[in-house]
Structure 1
């Protein structure tokens, strides 16, 4: 089916107590694996792209990958631009076929962040795509962006209300104690803050820093309104380690397709596990029915 807008999908997820898994694709193989995993579970999925991935490949290549696998699949697929600070890249993504875009101006003071985010709101409206924005600084490493623990700032619910009221977001990314990358210690997630922010904004929350969180943490966050959960670091490790593992077990095998398939299967299993964990199984039909009702 055609790529879908993220806004109605996350609203359905929030209203029905599940979260949509959002994975940062690496190449065509990982793109196909995440959509096939979703298809086998009859679930929606969000294929995310980092700015770095777009720079390495191209807008045209990435759109072609995602459209190819999505159009052959019966489940809803979103193509989303993850953390981006470049307004020109954001507009090019919206123009090229992404169905959701994210501005990350969280490093700036509130008013400057809001002003930049409002410019992206105009872009999203112009192209009819969903929008995510971030308030508060999430610690850790995301591609080339580094936020030290001392510089991280948890999101204030009152500021969150002002921010979301002005922007009409599809997803609201905020700092609630999670971190990008692998956790060095036990993460301290502020569930009361998640609940307070969702009560204040009524906006589906995007939970960044999903790699390494416990099943219990995911369940509590989703029950309090997290409707999108990002997984990136975990995929990077499986992407590389699956090839290393295959080579250890098959040192004399130089057939590329068998190596590629081992990587594909490992990544697909990872995706399926998270989709199941977030409650996505068998949610696609109800979401698609809700779209038909509002059409």
Structure 2
């Protein structure tokens, strides 16, 4: 089937009280792993490309690989720009066939974030492309976007309500205690804040920086209204660890398939585990 809009997947997830996994890709093997896991679990899935992934693999390769995967798949797949920071970048992805984009204006003052988000919505919504925005700052590092622990700001529920009223955005990423990258300890999510946001906002909510968040915390967040959960670091960890093991087991090996094959299998396994936690198994 063709790529679908992310909002289509999230609307169903919100009604069904589960979350759709949004998994970052960087190469062909990870795209294959995401689709293989989704097929095995009969689950809808979002394939995400960050600025770093686009720079590394090239936007043409990312879109071609994902479109081909979607055409061959029996499950619905959306292709999403993760953490787009400029209008120009969003439009580049729109021109290349992304079915969803994120415009991250969280570093800007509230009204500027609203203006930038509305500019994107006006440009792409008539094309059937869904739009995610962010309010509050997620700690850690996402490609070249860094937010120190001191600067990390949780999303204000009143601002979330105002932001959604002014933008009518399709999905809203909120900051409730998660962080990008590897955690130094166990993250503690502000569930009361999440509940307050959910009571004020009917828009599908997104949890970034979810790798390393305990399973019970993810389930709790989903039960309180999170409909999209982003996973990147856990995939990288599984992929690289398996490739390293294969190489260390046979340091004279020169066939990249002997390293990337096990890495792909490891990535598929962790993605399947996440899909089950999110409750989206069988929801395709």
TM-score range, shorter chain: over 0.9
Per the alignment, residue 291 of structure 1 pairs with none
Per the alignment, residue 158 of structure 2 pairs with 158
C-alpha separation between the residues in 2 aligned to 1:256 and 1:189?
40
C-alpha separation between the residues in 2 aligned to 1:131 and 1:278?
21
- Indicate conservation of the 8 Å contact 1:211/1:233, yes or no: yes
Secondary structure (helix, strand or coil) at the match of 1:82 reads strand
1:86-107 deviation line (CA, Å, top 9, x unaligned): 2111011012110000010101
C-alpha separation between the residues in 2 aligned to 1:186 and 1:125?
38
Per the alignment, residue 219 of structure 1 pairs with 219
C-alpha separation between the residues in 2 aligned to 1:152 and 1:256?
40
Deviates more, 1:265-274 or 1:183-192: 183-192
* Structure-to-structure mapping, 1:278-289, within 5 angstroms: 278-284=278-284
* Structure-to-structure mapping, 1:5-154, within 5 angstroms: 5-154=5-154
Displacement over 3 Å in runs of 4+: none
1:137-195 deviation line (CA, Å, top 9, x unaligned): 11111111110111111111111011112222221001111111112123121111111
CA RMSD of aligned residues (A): 1.2
Q: CA deviation at 1:215?
A: 0.7
Say how many residue pairs are matched: 284
- Indicate conservation of the 8 Å contact 1:154/1:177, yes or no: yes
- Indicate conservation of the 8 Å contact 1:94/1:123, yes or no: no
Q: CA deviation at 1:254?
A: 2.8
Secondary structure (helix, strand or coil) at the match of 1:254 reads coil
- Unaligned 5+ residue runs, structure 1? 285-295
- Indicate conservation of the 8 Å contact 2:21/2:231, yes or no: yes
Per the alignment, residue 277 of structure 2 pairs with 277
- Calculate the TM-score normalised by the size of structure 1: 0.93
- Indicate conservation of the 8 Å contact 2:26/2:57, yes or no: no
Q: CA deviation at 1:244?
A: 0.6
Secondary structure (helix, strand or coil) at the match of 1:34 reads helix
- Indicate conservation of the 8 Å contact 1:161/1:201, yes or no: yes
C-alpha separation between the residues in 2 aligned to 1:55 and 1:143?
10
Deviates more, 1:37-46 or 1:246-255: 246-255
* Structure-to-structure mapping, 1:135-284, within 5 angstroms: 135-284=135-284
Deviates more, 1:244-253 or 1:93-102: 244-253
Q: CA deviation at 1:57?
A: 2.6
